[in-house]
Amino acid sequence: MQALPEPVKNLVDAFSRLPGIGPKTASRLTFYLLRAPEEISQSLSQALVGIKEETGLCEVCFNITRKDTHICEICASDQRDRSTLCVVEEPLDVLAIEKTAGYNGLYHVLHGVLSPIEGIGPEDLRIQELYQRINENDFREIILATNPSMEGDATAMYLHEKLANKDLRVTRLALGLPVGGDLEYADQNTLLRALAGRQDLT
């Protein structure tokens, strides 16, 4: 079998290290770029350099922002509800919630979840900064919007316990059946969460 030229092999290997991209997809992307007009490769190269050189973390919430601004648009806005703080795992979670247009408060990005198996403890996340923000601001509600996974639940429980002595409303995103879903197709854990989170009809 013919060996790939070193530059091609290097790009396949680089793509393969990205999450969700296997060897086949990495090869397809590499050979697409080989055949594509040069401006596409140049544009991709500039974007990759720019994402490292021109972006940083907001000094307040730790969401991604431009490196020259220090504070993201959400934290800087005077149109946001400053009494509510939504705690999420990753910057992508901020985007997901913002797309709903149903939340107008502030955010705090942890950059991960507690995971003893992987050696990730509270000191590895932006938890100390979260406590500092809560102590320095007049929040009335903290929304724990970590993912409904074992690690996400453990992180939410840990934070809930640490905030128990604060005069705050601490809430968790509702979990359960998706809109339009059928009971017969729901897995056991989803049904259990839906039952546990049932609400009164008003």
- Say what the pLDDT of residue 202 is: 56
- CA 16, 17, 20 angle in degrees (round to 5)? 75
Q: Tell me the average confidence (pLDDT) per consecutive run of 10 residues in the chain, 202 residues long.
A: 80 94 95 94 93 94 94 96 97 94 96 95 97 96 93 95 93 81 76 75 58
pLDDT of residue 136: 96
Q: Parse the chain into domains and list their residue ranges.
A: 1-36, 78-172
> What CATH number should be reported for the domain whose range is 78-172?
3.40.1360.10
Residue that has been written with the tokens 């993201």 in this structure: 72
> For residues 58 and 75, what is the distance between their CA atoms, to the nearest angstrom?
8
Q: How far apart are CA 141 and CA 170, in angstroms?
A: 6
So what's the pLDDT on residue 185? 77
Contact 150, 184 (CB under 8 A): no
Identify the bridge partners of residue 170 per DSSP, sorted by sequence position.
142
pLDDT of the residue at 1: 40
Pairing of strands 169-172, 64-66: unpaired
Phi, psi values for residue 65, rounded to 5°: -150, 175
The architecture that CATH gives domain 1-36 is Orthogonal Bundle (1.10)
Assess contact for 120 and 112: CB atoms under 8 A.
yes
Structural tokens at position 131 = 């406590």
Q: What confidence score (pLDDT) does residue 183 get?
A: 67
Question: What is the structure's pLDDT at 179?
Answer: 73
Distance CA 74, CA 107 (A): 8
User: Cα dist. 119→59, 62, 87, 115, 122 in Å?
Assistant: 25, 22, 21, 6, 10
Answer yes or no: same fold for 1-36 and 78-172.
no
